[in-house]
Amino acid sequence: MSKQDLAIETEGLVKTFGKTRALDGLDLQVPTGTVYGVLGPNGAGKTTAVRVLATLLRPDDGQARVFGLDVRKEADAVRGKVSLTGQYASVDEDLTGTENLMLLGRLLGHRKPAARERAGQLLEAFGLADAADKQVKNYSGGMRRRIDIAASILNTPDLLFLDEPTTGLDPRSRNQVWEIVRLVVAHGTTVLLTTQYLDEADQLAARIAVVDHGKVIAEGTPGELKASIGAGAVHVRLRDAAQRPQAEEVLARELGASVQLEADPVALTARISGDETKLGAAEQASRALSELSRAGITVDDFSLGQPSLDEVFLTLTGHPADDDAKEDEVAA
């Protein structure tokens, strides 16, 4: 990949807060025109990385370039190309939707009538026209996230940072945000998306970097990553609890993986390994299911689960997502 095709390039990026090394030699290469997922638990350094790249924090060490521009030396030029939305970059709750967008429009150099027109178009496009004159603090979670995104595409940016855009949203609002992200990328904007959900990165990102303790611990397409960590797990519910030991045996043999018995006496879960066979997870699961029925075991229900972030971490690092990070989550 030539350097011109990179929207973001970092080398050995370091940022410390007191004794915490939030970024500890972060290396990223984000190609232009795609969604790039940065996946990691709370406290992994995702937000710090975004803040450094958006010129809000100065790195202590290392290099970071956005479209070839140095975030330290050419910060102002970087600001002209990027835009961010996230936990720490928000709109003003006391102002209405229209006022917020007009404020930003004017700060980006639009004259008042043009700013008003642009605000109206954006509110319309994001389904917020009815709430245009309401204070943002009265918006629902999904509306709030949409106005945040609308605010960051006031001037369509070349690079958009979305810092955990769906955390705390209900599934419907989450799908709306996903759809918006897809459309934004389709119009040529590069998106750097941070998330705690493998599912989300899988849905949206062309490439994913898994981050832990301020470092990239794995990088690749969603397919490559999943292959390296196992494809997920098959959850099975039997009709008869008495058949469970037999079912356990069949699954263990078919999938070549350890089988976990659930608290529910008719349920069991088997992990599917992704790398040992050329078969996809679904095929492996269906083969195992037909083996179960051949053995005369009645299956009432089954589902194929993606590996959770916890499983990803366990596989990649040998330790679960940090406990102190979980405390952060509670505090936030």
Partner 1 sequence: MSTATQETTASSYVPSAEILGTVLARGDRPARPGALSASLTFGWRAMLKIKHVPEQLFDVTIFPVMMVLMFTYLFGGALAGSTKEYLQFLLPGIMVMSVVMTTMYTGVSVNIDIEKGVFDRFRSLPIWRPSPMVGYLLGDMFRYTMASIVILTLGLILGFRPDGGPVGVVAGIAVLVAFSFAFSWVWTMVGLLMRGEKAVMSVSMFVLFPLTFLSNVFVDPETMPGWLQVFVDVNPVTQVVDAVRGLMGGHTNGAALMWVLIWGAVLIAVFGTVTMRLYNRK
Residues that bind partner 1 (CB under 8 A): 51, 54-58, 76-77, 79-80, 82-84, 86-96, 99, 103-104, 106-111, 114, 121-122, 124-128, 130-131, 134-135, 138-140, 142-143, 146, 151, 153, 155-156, 172-173, 176, 179-180, 183-184, 186-189
Signed CA dihedral, 214, 215, 218, 220: sign only? positive
Complete DSSP assignment for 88-124: TB---TTSBHHHHHHHHHHHTT--HHHHHHHHHHHHH
Neighbours of 20 (CB within 10 A): 14
How far does CA 145 lie from the centroid of its chain? Answer: 15
**CA distances in angstroms from 44 to 18, 124, 192, 224, 332, listed in the order given:** 16, 36, 16, 21, 15
Q: Copy the structure tokens of residue 79.
A: 């600001």
Q: Which is nearer to partner 1, 54 or 272 (CB)?
A: 54
Least CB distance to partner 1 at residue 91 (A): 7
Question: Is residue 26 within 8 Å of 192, Cβ to Cβ?
Answer: no
Q: Which is nearer to partner 1, 13 or 216 (CB)?
A: 13
Least CB distance to partner 1 at residue 196 (A): 18
Q: Which is nearer to partner 1, 35 or 57 (CB)?
A: 57
Least CB distance to partner 1 at residue 54 (A): 5
Least CB distance to partner 1 at residue 49 (A): 14
Least CB distance to partner 1 at residue 166 (A): 14
239 φ, ψ (degrees, to nearest 5): -80, -35
Q: How far apart are CA 266 and CA 244, in angstroms?
A: 7
Least CB distance to partner 1 at residue 315 (A): 34
Residue listed under structure tokens 């493998």: 198
31 DSSP 8-state letter = E
Question: Is residue 195 within 8 Å of 164, Cβ to Cβ?
Answer: yes
Least CB distance to partner 1 at residue 332 (A): 12
Signed CA dihedral, 247, 248, 250, 254: sign only? positive
Least CB distance to partner 1 at residue 118 (A): 8
Complete DSSP assignment for 249-310: HHHHHHH-S-EEE-SSTTEEEEEE-SSSSSS-HHHHHHHHHHHHHHTT--EEEEEEEPPPHH
Q: Which is nearer to partner 1, 98 or 196 (CB)?
A: 98
Q: Which is nearer to partner 1, 49 or 82 (CB)?
A: 82
